[in-house]
Amino acid sequence: MSGHGFHVHGPHDHELEHAQQGGHGGEHGGMINQIALFTAIIATVGALFGYMGGATQANAGLYKNNAAIKKTEASNQWNYFQSKSTKQSLAELARDLAPEDKKAIYQGKIDRYEKEKNEIKVVADKMELDATQWDKQSDEQMHQHHRWAQSTTVLQVAIALAAISLLTKKKWLEYAMFGAGGVGVVVGVMATLHI
C-alpha cells in the first residue's frame, strides 16, 4: 500500500478479508472451524488422560514399593520364627537329655517357644497377605496406566490427523480424525472403568 491511494493485496491478505466478511470459506471454512474445535477438545481431553496415566504409574510404583516392604517384613518374621524353632528344638533335646528334676524347666521353655512361634506365624502370614494385596493393586494400576497411555496415544494420532486434514482438505482424513478421537475417548472410558 502506498500513500497515493494505490493498494496491493497479497494472497494471504485477500483470503483474510474474505474470511472476515464471511465469503470464500464455504465448505472449507466450516471444516476448518469444526477441526479447530475438535482439536481443542481432544487436546484438553488428552491432557487430562495423560495426567491420569502419570498418576496411575506413580501409584503402581508406590504400591509395588509397599509390597516389597511387606515382603521384607514377612521374611524377617519368618527368620524370627525359624530362630524360635531352633531354640525349641534345642530345648527339646535338652529336656530329653536332662535328669527328671530338670525336664519341667525345659518343657516350660518348649511350650513358650511354641506359643511365640504361633504368634510370629500369624504376623508373618498377615504381612505376606498384605504384600500380595499391594502387588495386586500395583498390577491393577499398571493395567489402568496402560489404558491411559493407549488413549493418549490415539488422541495424539487424532490431533495429527486433524492437522493433515486441514492441510490436504481431504474429507476422508477428517472422518479418520473423528474416528481416532472417538476410539481414544472410548479407551479412556475403559481406563476410568478399570477395564
Query: pLDDT per residue over 27-77, tens digit each?
Result: 566 788 899 999 999 999 999 999 999 999 999 999 999 999 999 999 999
Give exposure, 18-51, as e/b (b: 16+ Cβ within 10 Å): eeeeeeeeeeeeebeeebeebbeebeebbeebbe
pLDDT digits (tens, 9 = 90+) for 45-54: 999 999 999 9
Tell me the per-residue pLDDT of 142-152, one tens digit each, with 9 for 90 and over.
999 999 999 99
* pTM for this model (two decimals): 0.71
- Asked if residues 19 and 29 have their Cβ atoms less than 8 Å apart, the reply is yes
Cell 472410548, residue located: 186
